[in-house]
Structure 1
Amino acid sequence: MSAGLAGTAATRLVPPLAERVAGAPISWGVCEVPGWGWQYDPGTVLAQMQAVGLRATEFGPDGFLPADADQRARVLAAHGLSAVAQFVPVVLHDPDHDPLPQAREAMVALADAGASVVVLAAASGSEGYDERPVLDDRAWATLLANLDRLADAARDHGLTATLHPHVGTMVETGEETARVLAGSRVALCLDTGHLLIGGGDPVAVAVQHPGRIAHVHLKDVRLDLARQVQAGEVTYTEAVRAGMYVPLGQGDVDVAAIVRALEGHGYAGWYVLEQDTILAGDPGDPGDPGGDGPLESVRASLEHLLAVAARPGPVGG
């Protein structure tokens, strides 16, 4: 992957940052993990995205949006939203497993919807994100080769494939992310929260590898809980339930430094607001103290990001 993936601000006309902010159903507690928590219905999630001023969304897990392309398009259009990507966890490290059929199915749906990115995660093969095996060199070689295969397949569908470092997957840590950058051609989905929880440095990745970053999941996290996950004192799921993810600007991720590094390099992709949430029940229920639920948190994150973009300097766009 060329270091010039994102181009430069001087040579590319980049839309203002405010036009490149999308939502994700995980901020409303909608997740692919069985038993994750209470789930909002798609109509409520999409209507709240529209109400808060988001322009686009990721698909969410399989089954969240209609499988039929025409129905899916109508649902998104009814809420004034376009499609940008989908998070697709696939097993990449097993020499006896071909991830291409599963990934290609997602790519076809994304291309039909006019999306631009497929967000791959190197799934462990188990449900959830609390445990993962250790890979040997053969498994790593298989993983890296499969990433290049999927990157080529995505390009054939008019998409960019990105690899998402994610807690509980086979690419979680800063070292594992560096191994992917050095050993494959795939672009990166910079998830600012997962990389920090995994012991990496999202600011350093944004500064050192801006040309490899084709998609961004903007998260903020509490470092105290992230360190408990790293130390094995709590599981990832327990930390999410305890509120490890917080609105942008309220945690320990230097969002402004990351955005400044990317925008200064001419990054033209999407910033997807994600605050991973586990809901015990309907926050809108009068008997539940959750109040308005995720909506105000998403609004706070969007306001923080737009405030960062409005500051004098290279971020404004």
Structure 2
Amino acid sequence: MFNPRLGCSSISFRHQDLPEALRTIAGLGFEEIDLGALPGVCDHVPYDLDAEAVATVTAEVVASGLRVRSVNGDIGDLNAMLDADAQSARNRHLDALLTLAACTGAKALVLPCGALGHEPVRSLDEDLDTIAAQLIAAKQRADDFDVELWTESLHFLRFCWNLELAELLARRLSGSGVGIVMDFSHIVAAGEEPLEYLKRHQGRIAHVHLRDAVPGNINLSIGNGQADFAAGLGALAAAGYAGHFSLELETRDVTHGERPAAAAKAASFITDLI
């Protein structure tokens, strides 16, 4: 029904519990999901992710018949200064998310590009160095699970919120194997241009999130903002991008009852452009 490279994030239906969200997504005709595991944003994956929780979520995903492209998770503020105990707790949380990714057959675990907020903990360079080091260490651990490690950068609400900071982080990650997730809505919300983002990240992009936006607002349905998806997807194709896309419709301009129809409309529109 839709392009097989186009999936739907479970975050799009975060108001439903996971089994219901998966039924909704499959019923619309999607074959693939990004699985939301973001505390305070999407509760489809418990934050206290013990072995029982991993088994439960895995069983629910397997029962749905949907493929998992990525697990979109969070292990805390990556530019925070941690003592040994806090780092050990972070490492345990990372291992739990990687276990979930491996059990569900996900290609990758996605982590944020720093804390919620634009102010550095120490200095811009020191914070970027810390974020990069944490992501590289997470990637090295992900290798043990046969899972890729990606970061969503830029992210309008996070430390690497604009083109300059996203590029500075990408330079620090060069050669590490950490992939970059491009999100149209965060680029537009930051007042930046997706085509300029693509020029600066050519060859680095591992996955693409799709949602519309205007400067300062990331929560719009596709077609209700200023993102030029035709130009952006055309540029991705011209650059040889062969990865997948995910509708991450954490929108505030439709009711929950309207959300399935809005997701189907967006998927048809994007399918025509891919």
Which category describes the TM-score, using the shorter chain as reference length?
A: 0.7 to 0.9
Q: Does 1:120 align with 2:85?
A: no
Equivalent residue for 2:44, pick from 64, 71, 93? 64
How far apart, CA to CA, are the structure 2 residues paired with 1:84 and 1:277? 21
Superposed CA offset, 1:139-170 (max 9, x none): 22211222221222223322221111222211
Equivalent residue for 1:140, pick from 128, 135, 141? 128
How far apart, CA to CA, are the structure 2 residues paired with 1:299 and 1:52? 6
Please give the secondary structure, in 2, of the residue aligned with 1:252: coil
Unpaired runs of 5+ residues, structure 2, are: 47-51
Bigger radius of gyration? 1
Note the C-alpha offset of 1:65: 4.7
- Which residue of structure 2 aligns with residue 193 of structure 1? 185
Q: Does 1:45 align with 2:10?
A: no
Note the C-alpha offset of 1:195: 2.0
Q: Is the strand fraction higher in 1 or 2?
A: 2
Q: Does 1:152 align with 2:140?
A: yes
Please show how residues 1-317 of structure 1 align to structure 2 within 5 Å. 18-28=3-13, 30=14, 39-61=15-37, 63-65=43-45, 68-89=53-74, 90-96=76-82, 98=87, 99-124=90-115, 131-135=117-121, 136=123, 137-165=125-153, 166-184=155-173, 185=176, 186-221=178-213, 223=214, 226=215, 229=216, 239=217, 244-247=219-222, 249-278=223-252, 290=255, 292-309=257-274
Letter matched to residue 24 of structure 1: S
Please give the secondary structure, in 2, of the residue aligned with 1:23: strand
How far apart, CA to CA, are the structure 2 residues paired with 1:197 and 1:123? 17
How far apart, CA to CA, are the structure 1 residues paired with 2:102 and 2:157? 28
How far apart, CA to CA, are the structure 2 residues paired with 1:146 and 1:161? 11
TM norm structure 2: 0.81
Note the C-alpha offset of 1:56: 1.3
- Share of identical aligned residues, percent? 21
Conserved 8 A contact 2:6-2:271 = no
Unpaired runs of 5+ residues, structure 1, are: 1-16, 31-38, 230-238, 284-289, 310-317
Summarize the Cα distance change of 1:112–1:299 in structure 2 as closer, same or farther, 3 Å threshold: same
TM norm structure 1: 0.71
Summarize the Cα distance change of 1:101–1:196 in structure 2 as closer, same or farther, 3 Å threshold: farther
Superposed CA offset, 1:263-301 (max 9, x none): 33332322010121359xxx9xxxxxx473210111111
Bigger relative contact order, structure 1 or 2 (CA pairs below 8 A, ≥6 apart): 1
Note the C-alpha offset of 1:23: 0.9
Summarize the Cα distance change of 1:190–1:302 in structure 2 as closer, same or farther, 3 Å threshold: same
Letter matched to residue 107 of structure 2: S
Backbone CA RMSD of aligned residues: 2.5
How far apart, CA to CA, are the structure 2 residues paired with 1:199 and 1:162? 23
Superposed CA offset, 1:118-156 (max 9, x none): 1110342xxxx5x44334032222112222212222233
How far apart, CA to CA, are the structure 2 residues paired with 1:79 and 1:302? 19
Summarize the Cα distance change of 1:71–1:146 in structure 2 as closer, same or farther, 3 Å threshold: closer
Conserved 8 A contact 2:10-2:36 = yes
